[in-house]
Chain A
Amino acid sequence: MSQAKVERLLNLIATLLDAPRPVTADELRRRVPGYPDAKTNFRRAFERDKEDLRAMGVPIRIEPVPLSNPPAEGYRIRKDEYYLRDPGLEPDERAALQLAAATVRLDGLAGAGALWKLGGREPAVDRSDELADLPSDPNLAAVFSGVLEHRRLRFAYRGTDRRVDPWRLVFRRGRWYLAGYDHGRGDERIFRLDRVDGPVEVEEEAGAFTRPPEAQRPLQLDQWEIGDEQPVTARVLIDPDAATSAIHSQRPGSASVRVVERRPDGSLVLEMDVTSRYGFRSFLLTFLEHAEVLGPPELRDDVVTWLEAIAAP
């Protein structure tokens, strides 16, 4: 952005912010320095500026100008919508946030801008190595705004158009998930953000739903339980050599997988609550020939059929 543009935008905000009444486009053309005089050129420049400011999060409202005849519309930025409420951060708290932003990287999200708004960098924060890298997602900010402002979301997912009350955004095992109420299905659903097709649309109405208390419970997200299928309990035998990684593949506190037997040779028997055959198979086959479905027979048959199709000449 050129110096001239920064200057023009700053003047534009100053004119609109807390203006006593909505300011018409014509008035802006005359009052904000740096706009072209010709009306069509002004329009084009002003539209672009408006878009840039909205992208920055500047809440420009369009309102009717009172007592105007003929009725006219004007622009205004309301103070309460523009200003950040002071969170009252102490220096050590600001430093902690800054350290977190440096230690955990969230790809492509505007951490720097956020820290400036909170008062910039605290001097003398220890430099720290990056500890974790959270991948981003093009829809992350839209989904989060829905969660924060209780706005409904619309998006396409697995070939179906969804309308969802977004309850909670969750990151686990390297992926972002949205937990919410799916109006089409009439039930709670979990969506993988990277499986959402195209952009998420955020509906206008804020406060459109209330988040139920059960939204707080931990997501059930093991791959064999991300599905709608009739639940079955699988029994899986894991050979001694593979036992370590099998144990680690359980989520802490996960109820969907349990070690039910430790055999003298070091092998394990797991019980798993399966609602996705595909997810279960994917888990099982990572052990190659070091694991075996003991039952129930239908699940064992499912795996055998799958493998036979691959083994067929």
Chain B
Amino acid sequence: VSPSTSRVPADLRLQRLLAILSWCADQDGPTFAEVMDRFDIGASQLRDDLELAAMVGSDSEDIADMPIEVVVDDGRVWVYLHAFQRPLRLTPDEGLALVATGAALQSVPGADPEGPLARALTKLAGVLGVEPDEAIGIDLGLPHGDTFTILRDAVTARRQVELDYYSFGRDEHTHRVVDPWRVFADQGAWYVVGWCHRVDDQRSFRLDRIAEVVPLDTTFDPPAQPPDLGLYHADAGGPRVVLDLEPNARWVAEVHPTESVEDLGEGRLRVTLAVSARPWLERLLLTLGPLATLVHVDDRLGGPETARAAARRVLARYRAGGAVR
């Protein structure tokens, strides 16, 4: 939502106006520019909205029914309120938006437990009528160790890093030099996105699969454009798999990027997925078992025998060992 455009959704426009009125009433004639900046509103929209507010109650015979007085003079705004003195209370989703994002940031290493964010969250909890931390817990799931702090510092200092990385999709360890552009969390996992000198391309790496990170002395220039955070760019010519999912396996379509989803009725889905490498598909099929039926799979991924072959490989371990070790 970009609230500065004139096509602000209905309710937002009214809510913003109410917020502007009560804020201005508390100030000593703020400038027009300050109101515009603070509430992300254009000059003509602000003028319209203030005029509208000043007309409230004007149909009444009684001047006392006009709850809002607005004076605009010399580029400044004075508002006198006989109603609407305080903003409308926070709705549950607004309260949640503030508390959840604040608590999330507060959970990241390096957050000051007595800093302004912590104080703000305590005050908000008071307004919402709960103890801080009581109603909500946010854990962004940072992996153990100092991987996160080393990478975050490297991003800030623009220093290259060397990664010992376990590629889950391909099931192999690699060493690579990376220009770390950004560290971020998505879907419960942490990633560093940057330029990988091993493949000479942009890559994202999961922090929990970095066995070791070593900051280097060499520096790099970050890209002028912020990186696209799309985690997985399906290669147009890359292998595909088509699966029929039972109702209990519908989550697959929610957590993995799908190229197409077809409703087969009775809760079943037919999905097409782009697959990065064969081990990834093997894991999915072994986990799902009878909940997924292979409809079509590229020969590069093992063809129709993929799941059977993988299951036999894992089983071989159990037959070799036999007894409990």
Measuring CB to CB, which residues of chain A are less than 8 angstroms from any residue of chain B? 1, 3, 5-7, 9-11, 13-14, 17-18, 31, 33, 52, 55-59, 81-90, 92-97, 99-101, 103-106, 109-123, 129-135, 140-142, 144-145, 147-149, 168-175, 194, 211, 215-216, 218-219, 237, 241-242, 244-245, 247-252, 281-282, 285-286, 288-290, 292, 294-297, 300, 303-304, 306-313
Q: Which residues from chain A contact B34 at a C-beta distance below 8 Å?
A: 123
Task: Tell me which residues from 20 to 64 in chain B have a Cβ below 8 Å from any Cβ of chain A.
Answer: 20, 23, 34-35, 37-40, 48-49, 52-53, 55-57, 59-60
* Interface contact B37-A114, CB-CB below 8 Å: no
Whether A292 pairs with B10 at a CB distance below 8 angstroms is no
- Distance between B225 CB and nearest chain A CB, rounded to angstroms: 12
Is the Cβ of A169 less than 8 Å from the Cβ of B136?
yes
Does B277 belong to the interface (CB within 8 Å)? no
Interface status of B233 (Cβ within 8 A of chain A) = no
A26–B102 alpha-carbon span in the complex (Å): 45
B183 in contact (CB, < 8 A):
yes
- Which residue numbers of B lie inside 8 Å of A, CB to CB? 1, 3, 9-17, 19-20, 23, 34-35, 37-40, 48-49, 52-53, 55-57, 59-60, 67-68, 83-98, 100-102, 104-106, 108, 115-117, 119-120, 123-124, 126-130, 133-141, 143-144, 166, 168, 171, 173, 182-189, 208-209, 211, 226, 229, 251, 254, 279, 282-283, 285-287, 289-290, 307-308, 310-318, 321, 324-325
Beyond the given pairs A57-B88, A84-B89, A100-B105, 12 more chain A to chain B contacts, judged by CB atoms under 8 angstroms and listed by A's residue number, are A83-B88, A85-B86, A100-B102, A103-B105, A104-B104, A118-B98, A144-B135, A168-B137, A245-B209, A292-B317, A300-B318, A300-B324
- Known contacts A14-B84, A83-B86, A168-B134; A121/B314 CB under 8 A: no
Across the interface, which residues of A come within 8 angstroms of B124, CB to CB? 87, 97
Given B59, B101, B141, B189, which contacts A101 in the complex, CB threshold below 8 Å? B101
| Chain B residues within an 8 Å CB radius of A97 | 98, 101-102, 117, 120, 124
Query: In the complex the two chains form, is A85's CB within 8 Å of B127's CB?
Result: yes
Task: Specify which chain B residues have a CB less than 8 angstroms from the CB of A89 in the assembled complex.
Answer: 120, 123
B19 partner, pick from A6, A116, A134, A304, beta carbons under 8 A: A116
B96–A141 CB distance below 8 A:
yes
A7 to chain B, nearest CB (A): 5
Report yes or no: A170 in contact with B136, Cβ–Cβ below 8 A: yes
- Which of A59, A119, A247 is the one whose CB lies under 8 Å from B23? A119
Question: Could you tell me if A114 and B98 are in contact, using CB atoms closer than 8 angstroms?
Answer: yes
Residue contact A123 to B37, C-beta cutoff 8 Å: yes
Whether the pair A120, B208 counts as a contact (CB closer than 8 A) is no
Does the CB pair B310–A17 fall under 8 Å? Answer: no
Establish whether residues B315 and A252, one from each chain, have CB atoms under 8 Å apart when the complex forms.
Answer: no
Known contacts A100-B117, A288-B282; is-contact A310 B93 (Cβ 8 Å): no
In the complex, what distance in Å separates the CA atom of A286 from the CA atom of B166?
Answer: 13
A59–B144 alpha-carbon span in the complex (Å): 46
Checking B89, B119, B315 against A311 with a beta-carbon cut-off of 8 angstroms, the contacting residue is B315
Contact residues in B for A169 (Cβ distance below 8 Å): 96, 135-137
Contacts of B308 in A (CB 8 A): 310-313
A14 near B56 with CB under 8 A, answer yes
Give 22 pairs: A residue, B residue, CB < 8 Å, sorted on A: A10-B17, A14-B56, A57-B89, A85-B89, A88-B123, A94-B120, A97-B117, A104-B105, A106-B100, A113-B16, A120-B20, A121-B37, A132-B104, A132-B140, A133-B187, A134-B101, A141-B91, A144-B93, A175-B188, A288-B313, A303-B318, A310-B308
A288/B286 in contact, CB under 8 A? yes
- Assuming the contacts A171-B104, A311-B315, asked whether A112 and B188 have C-beta atoms less than 8 A apart, the reply is no
Q: Is the CB of B91 within 8 A of A56?
A: yes
B128 to chain A, nearest CB (A): 6
Residues of B contacting A252 in the complex (Cβ-Cβ under 8 angstroms) = 144
Taking a contact as CB atoms under 8 Å apart, the answer to whether B53 and A10 are in contact is yes
Assess the A106–B126 pair: CB atoms within 8 A.
no
Contact indicator B14/A6 (Cβ below 8 Å): yes
Q: How far is the CB of A123 from chain B (nearest CB, A)?
A: 6
A174 touches B141 (CB 8 A): yes
Chain B residues in 8 Å Cβ range of A31:
59-60
- Min CB distance A3 to B, Å, is 7
Q: Chain B residues with Cβ under 8 A from A9's Cβ?
A: 14
Chain B residues contacting A286 (CB-CB under 8 Å) are 283, 287
Complex: how many Å from CA A137 to CA B224? 34
Cα–Cα distance between A1 and B12 once the two chains are bound (Å)? 9
Task: Name the distance in Å between A29's Cβ and chain B's nearest Cβ.
Answer: 12
Question: Which residue on chain A has the smallest CB distance to residue B187?
Answer: A174
A252 to B144, CA, bound (A): 7
In the complex, residue of chain B having the shortest beta-carbon distance to the beta carbon of A313? B308
Check if A57 sits within 8 Å of B59, measured CB to CB. no
- Tell whether, in the assembled complex, residue B52 and residue A103 are in contact, meaning their CB atoms are under 8 Å apart: no
State whether B105 touches A241 (Cβ < 8 A).
no
Q: Chain B CB within 10 Å — which of A103, A112, A303 has the most?
A: A112
